[in-house]
Structure 1
């Protein structure tokens, strides 16, 4: 079933049709918005039968609902053929998160395998871009983190054990994609770092995580991050530009890390608390594993320049969380 609308943008005959799976999510919504603003792509979205599509309707040429509860490879095949799709992007996540990485993987692999198998069933020229996460790149020894996946059987460093579910699921999903690529499949992987900023759909994971870290209290059952937690950060619109560049390059077996700013969670929480005007006792932070995320290769290959800085965007980030009514910090009395 397709929700068709008059797509107002005038685009040339050379426009490539792109399919986004997971379009109603935080990153997916940003992708729909950014791709719709390009001159060389037209966006279609494949959503679950029960999805609320109102927010992405103005951003998509076509919105197609899955014929069943979960998206299948047959859905992908039909959409590719009917709408002449050249690129499929999967950013679908099962939410809320399951209690184990195995249970989460059982859900997350459904749209991922549908994208891979559906694309290959139509043509080897269909490029599939999958999404992972910078946590799945971290090696046991820390150090400089690039686009190179960790070896099989690697161990998470101690301070990342709290993210075993998220990192573990990404590693399992990456394994499926790597196997697909090794067998001749046309796919690439984007590794977003921690994503912040406004998007046309619901808020992101870090909206809650930073507030939990500031308060030191669990929220909705999730524990705050430990003080010795190092990551990198990317604005959701910069991330969207990375996906657009990867789609334009359409390189089989590409690996792209989007990680502009190396900042600990405590450093970002400090900026957040200042913008929100709330009390926050900054914990002592030491980058014990000497973790540095280096995306210079990705920027060179995709000819990218990051536009946003956390320090300049954090005030708008706080205001967006208030708009979404997911703000739970108490102001200084």
Structure 2
């Protein structure tokens, strides 16, 4: 039997149970908090044996430890059956990155396959919501980017070579999910754009990536992003709302893009530097491929309105990074 920690007085037992994998991560922590504020969902968090659960304890109905370091189909299936789970959200991924896309995929696919296979084994009604990345949607043609996945073999923009491993691993996981859906599996994909803001657990990749871009120096072995890197940004709280809306929708084969604001790395770094009150001369930015992320379909289908704007909330983000001890701009 899986080891569990119950918190029965904190959440009404009449609400629907959601199984969340990756609950102690950056997005997972924010989603735990947001789910606990709903009237219709309660969180069952499946975590690894050595996970730090203190930050998510107030938001969970139960915290369940996996039997091994990696999640297994057996772990997920047991929770689904025992707790009458109808929705599984997988936010678990492998860190640190491996040296090749194949090695990274072999680690990243473990939790995803555990979720898909367990749901399939229990009932075709179990809805699995998987996470991807917006860069797996960008093709060499650039232009308007929506929730529609590119066709197999589509070439990627040259600047994406900087994060080729991440892009290719997301594509591999996307193909795995699409194959599952094509065979009758009940699954959806959420494509988060670059995520910023405060989470009750840890920080995100952008906590150091933006600071690194401002300094122009490598940090922890990573090179700064190129100036012409265009992306879209979503506040972690708005992204949590997207996952919750997708869970309520429950549509088989749903594809949802959360991309509230189109901003280059240079533009976001400028906002960050202003909030942090440090000197920064932004490189000249040119959107050479006319890349624009358009999530209007997702907002319409899921009836969402994004509540946050980077210009208004970046200061709170900077303060959170300082709290986490990952702020390193003092010497700029």
Identify the residue that residue 319 of structure 1 maps to in structure 2: 319
Identify the residue that residue 330 of structure 1 maps to in structure 2: 330
Identify the residue that residue 68 of structure 1 maps to in structure 2: 68
2:11 to 9, 32, 46: 9
- Structure 1, unpaired ranges of 5+: none
Is 1:225 paired with 2:225? Answer: yes
Identify the residue that residue 90 of structure 2 maps to in structure 1: 90
**CA apart distance, 1:331:** 5.6
How many Å separate the matches in 1 of 2:104 and 2:79? 26
**CA apart distance, 1:163:** 1.2
Q: Deviations over 1:136-174 (max 9, x none)?
A: 100111100000011111221111110111111110100
CA contact (8 A) 2:20 2:89 kept: yes
Is 1:234 paired with 2:234? Answer: yes
**CA apart distance, 1:96:** 1.6
How many Å separate the matches in 2 of 1:329 and 1:100? 31
Identify the residue that residue 160 of structure 1 maps to in structure 2: 160
How many Å separate the matches in 2 of 1:214 and 1:205? 15
Q: Deviations over 1:258-279 (max 9, x none)?
A: 0010000000000101111111
**CA apart distance, 1:97:** 1.7
How many Å separate the matches in 2 of 1:4 and 1:176? 33
**CA apart distance, 1:25:** 0.2
How many Å separate the matches in 1 of 2:306 and 2:245? 12
How many Å separate the matches in 1 of 2:295 and 2:7? 38
Identify the residue that residue 184 of structure 1 maps to in structure 2: 184
**CA apart distance, 1:101:** 1.8
Q: Deviations over 1:78-132 (max 9, x none)?
A: 0001111110000011112222222211110000000000011000000000000
How many Å separate the matches in 2 of 1:71 and 1:304? 32
How many Å separate the matches in 2 of 1:230 and 1:181? 30
Q: TM-score, normalised by structure 1?
A: 0.97
Identify the residue that residue 115 of structure 2 maps to in structure 1: 115
Q: What SS does structure 1 have at the residue aligned with 2:119? A: helix
Is 1:248 paired with 2:248? Answer: yes
**CA apart distance, 1:203:** 0.3
- Structure 2, unpaired ranges of 5+: none
RMSD over aligned Cα atoms: 1.0
CA contact (8 A) 1:192 1:234 kept: yes
**CA apart distance, 1:235:** 0.2
Q: Deviations over 1:35-83 (max 9, x none)?
A: 1110000110001112111111111001110011210001111000111
Aligned residues: 330
Q: TM-score, normalised by structure 2?
A: 0.98
CA contact (8 A) 1:19 1:46 kept: yes
**CA apart distance, 1:315:** 0.5
CA contact (8 A) 1:277 1:331 kept: no
Q: Deviations over 1:192-247 (max 9, x none)?
A: 00000000100001111101110110100011000110000000000000000000
Q: What SS does structure 1 have at the residue aligned with 2:86? A: strand
Identify the residue that residue 56 of structure 2 maps to in structure 1: 56
